[in-house]
Structure 1
Amino acid sequence: MLLKTFGWSFAITALGLALAGVLWGWQGLAIVGILSILEISLSFDNAVINAGILRKMNAFWQKIFLTLGILVAVFGMRLVFPVVIVAITAKLGPLEAVDLAIHDKAQYEELVTSAHPAIAAFGGIFLVMIFLDFIFEERDYKWLAWIEKPMARMGKLDTLSIIIALVTLLVTAMTVATSVAHGGGDKSATVLLAGVAGLITYLIVGGVSSFFEDKLEEDDEDEDDEGEEAAEAAAAPEKKGVGTGAAVGLAGKAAFFMFLYLEVIDASFSFDGVIGAFAITNDIFMMALGLGIGAMYIRSLTVFLVRKGTLDDYVYLEHGAHYAIGALGVILLITIKYEISEVVTGLVGIVLIALSFWSSVVKNRRDAKPESASGEKAEVTSGV
């Protein structure tokens, strides 16, 4: 199971590190290794969030996530995205931006870093919205009940998450964006525009995927209600065929938009990793290779969590991951003005997920005690 899920990650790691050693020597090998660890530490919570979405998709779309999705993640976000940012901010052509990245790495790094306020505002608001919609939803399990119970009651106001996100964006624009750390000057207008774009992106992609998901669940419920009429439906193949075709088509649309949603989430998570990587190197090829290896492990971990049913066994993991997302979103907004070490960012997510995992273990042990007291359960346990 482990080798089957992580086999490609192990192979890509070996190949990537070997390539780094050949092209850049021991120094390049070390840098690529550090970048891989940086990406994994910053994006571990991303794997948990992705697993919560990916488990709703069939095996085909899980394979798409691991193949086409990894191409988008590695080449799109880690290699092409910084070049596109430079081309837009510096008003250069794509080829000029690539030439700049290869031959004038210092200037390239400066241009990418100067675009940080817009990137942080977009990604920060997008991630904050994910957290708010989670915390305002009524859930069967509550990790921090003293927070989540009142939040769930407040969440009955449908637009509350949008209101809070917009207020957060306004406060950010009027405070930290007035004197930014990257590029200097007042970036209030830029931050407002990018933040609104992040909010709109979330509402469109998340809203459409939720619509198709809810529609698919309604169709499944209808099929269950009509289960008693299965014999009659079998006698009318033309009617059954129409119903089945619609359900399959609807499932495809739902999976497609959920895939898009996953890719946007991954993009938002990768912003801090791409910017933080410049503290280690400004070579775009080293950066893409190192961050790409890390991204591969995150995707493999996502599939592993889905196939092992980890989120069902440890019910508070999603809570911890969403709290980590909220923290990362706020950190991204703060970094518009203040420098925050990637070590701090990574540790926040790891600590929150570790605490939620431990809480899940404690809950499972507590729930198992009454069952183990019975002779039947004790017999099964001793047999194992």
Structure 2
Amino acid sequence: MLLKTFGWSFAITAAGLALAGVLWGWQGLAIVGILSILEISVSFDNAVINAGILRKMNAFWQKIFLTVGILIAVFGMRLVFPVVIVAVTAKMGPIEAVKLAINDKPQYEQLVTSAHPAIAAFGGMFLLMIFLDFIFEEREHKWLAWLEKPLAKMGKLDMLSVIVALIVLLVASMTVATDVAHGGGDKSATVLLSGVAGLLTYLIVGGVSGYFEDKLEEVEDEEDEDGEAAAASSGSAAKKNGTGAAVGLAGKAAFFMFLYLEVIDASFSFDGVIGAFAITNDIFEMALGLGIGAMYIRSLTVYLVRKGTLDDYVYLEHGAHYAIGALAVILLATIKYEINEVITGLVGVVLIGLSFLSSVRRNRLQGKPGESSRPKSEVSSGV
């Protein structure tokens, strides 16, 4: 199971490290290895969130996420994205930006770093909305009941998440954005504009995918009400995924859910890409190291779905969402302050670790084995 799920990640790690050694020697090999570990530690909570969404999709779209999605994650966000930032910031063409990245690495690093306030505001607001929508929603399981119960009651107010997010953005623009460490000067307008863009992106992509998901559930409910008992009994295996979720999303619903997943992954990668410049300013070393890390995050996502882990350990999603909330705050804080990526990664790992231990304790108290007895997920090919 472990080798089948992580086999591609192991193979690409070996090939990537060998390539790094050939191209850049022992130093390059060490840099790529460090970047891989950095990406895994920073994005560990991303795998839990991805798994929670991926299990809702049918087998076809799960494979799309694990194939096309990984290409977007590795080449799009870890290689093309920094170049696009430079092209937009310096108002130059993409070819000139690539030449700058190869021939003038210090200037390239400076341009990417100067764009950090806009990147942090966009990613921070997107991730903050994910956290707020989770914490303000009434849920069957509550990890920190003393906090989640009153917040769930407050969440009955319409658009509360948006209101809170906008307040946070206004506070950030009037505090950390007035005298930033990256690029210097007052970046209040930039932070406001980028933050609103991140908020709108979440509302559009998340709203559209949620709309189609709701429509699909309505169709399923109508079919059940029509008394298709025979079809339900004979096709139950096809209609249920391994974690006991409803019919796997397909069509438009799955497409927009795929887009939503990719935007989430992009938001998680922001701090990793920016933090990588503390280790190297070579875009190819960066893309290779972060890309290897991204492969493990995808493999971990598959593992969680196949094992039904989120159903067995019900507080894991809570821990991951709290980690997202912490990451959102950290991203906004980094507009002005330098925060080591190790701290960012440890916050996520600790929160998820605590939620896992709480889940284990809950299972023991309820006499549950901790391993789901249900059939595993439809995910048939891990990356």
Q: TM-score, normalised by structure 1?
A: 0.90
Aligned residue type for 2:168: T
* 1:154 paired to 2:188: no
Aligned residue type for 1:252: G
Q: Which residue of 1 aligns with 2:243?
A: none
Cα deviation for residue 2 of structure 1 reads 1.2
Cα deviation for residue 355 of structure 1 reads 0.1
Following the alignment from structure 1 to structure 2, what is the Cα–Cα distance between the partners of residues 249 and 291? Answer: 30
* 1:121 paired to 2:131: no
Q: Which residue of 1 aligns with 2:11?
A: 11
Q: Which residue of 2 aligns with 1:266?
A: 265
Please give the per-residue CA displacement for 1:210-259, whole angstroms capped at 9, x wherever unaligned. Answer: 1111111111111111125869xxxxxxxxxxxxxxxx998311111000
Helix, strand or coil for the counterpart of 1:368? coil
8 A contact 1:62–1:303 mirrored in 2: no
Aligned residue type for 1:352: L
After superposition, where does 1:63-78 map in structure 2 within 5 Å? 63-78=63-78
Q: Which residue of 2 aligns with 1:219?
A: 219
Cα deviation for residue 63 of structure 1 reads 1.0
Helix, strand or coil for the counterpart of 1:56? coil
Q: Residues 32 and 228 from structure 1, CA distance in 2 versus in 1: closer, same or farther, beyond 3 angstroms?
A: closer
How many residues end up aligned between the 2 structures?
354
Aligned residue type for 2:73: A
Q: TM-score, normalised by structure 2?
A: 0.91
Aligned residue type for 2:104: D
Helix, strand or coil for the counterpart of 1:177? coil
Following the alignment from structure 1 to structure 2, what is the Cα–Cα distance between the partners of residues 278 and 107? Answer: 12
Aligned residue type for 2:349: I
Cα deviation for residue 119 of structure 1 reads 0.1
After superposition, where does 1:185-224 map in structure 2 within 5 Å? 185-224=185-224
After superposition, where does 1:306-325 map in structure 2 within 5 Å? 306-325=305-324
Following the alignment from structure 1 to structure 2, what is the Cα–Cα distance between the partners of residues 355 and 230? Answer: 44
After superposition, where does 1:1-384 map in structure 2 within 5 Å? 1-228=1-228, 251-368=250-367
Following the alignment from structure 2 to structure 1, what is the Cα–Cα distance between the partners of residues 123 and 229? Answer: 49
Q: Which residue of 2 aligns with 1:243?
A: none
Helix, strand or coil for the counterpart of 1:176? coil
Helix, strand or coil for the counterpart of 1:227? coil
Helix, strand or coil for the counterpart of 2:366? helix
Following the alignment from structure 1 to structure 2, what is the Cα–Cα distance between the partners of residues 22 and 138? Answer: 54
Aligned residue type for 2:113: T
Following the alignment from structure 1 to structure 2, what is the Cα–Cα distance between the partners of residues 36 and 305? Answer: 20
Q: Give the ranges of 4+ consecutive aligned residues of structure 1 lying more than 3 Å apart after TM superposition.
A: 228-231
Q: Residues 228 and 52 from structure 1, CA distance in 2 versus in 1: closer, same or farther, beyond 3 angstroms?
A: closer
Following the alignment from structure 1 to structure 2, what is the Cα–Cα distance between the partners of residues 148 and 35? Answer: 36
8 A contact 2:55–2:248 mirrored in 1: no
Following the alignment from structure 2 to structure 1, what is the Cα–Cα distance between the partners of residues 178 and 248? Answer: 49
Cα deviation for residue 59 of structure 1 reads 1.4
Cα deviation for residue 123 of structure 1 reads 0.1
Cα deviation for residue 158 of structure 1 reads 2.1
Helix, strand or coil for the counterpart of 1:23? helix
Following the alignment from structure 1 to structure 2, what is the Cα–Cα distance between the partners of residues 363 and 353? Answer: 15
Aligned residue type for 2:363: N
Structure 1, unmatched stretches of 5+, are 232-247, 372-384
8 A contact 1:136–1:154 mirrored in 2: yes
Following the alignment from structure 1 to structure 2, what is the Cα–Cα distance between the partners of residues 270 and 251? Answer: 27
55-64 vs 321-330, which deviates more? Answer: 55-64
Helix, strand or coil for the counterpart of 2:346? helix
Aligned residue type for 2:135: I
Q: Which residue of 2 aligns with 1:378?
A: none
Please give the per-residue CA displacement for 1:11-46, whole angstroms capped at 9, x wherever unaligned. Answer: 100000000000000000000000000000000000
The share of aligned pairs that are identical, in percent, is 85
Following the alignment from structure 1 to structure 2, what is the Cα–Cα distance between the partners of residues 219 and 89? Answer: 47
Aligned residue type for 1:324: A
Q: Could you say which structure has the larger radius of gyration?
A: 1
8 A contact 1:178–1:187 mirrored in 2: yes
Structure 2, unmatched stretches of 5+, are 232-246, 370-383
Structure number with higher helix proportion: 1
Helix, strand or coil for the counterpart of 1:11? helix
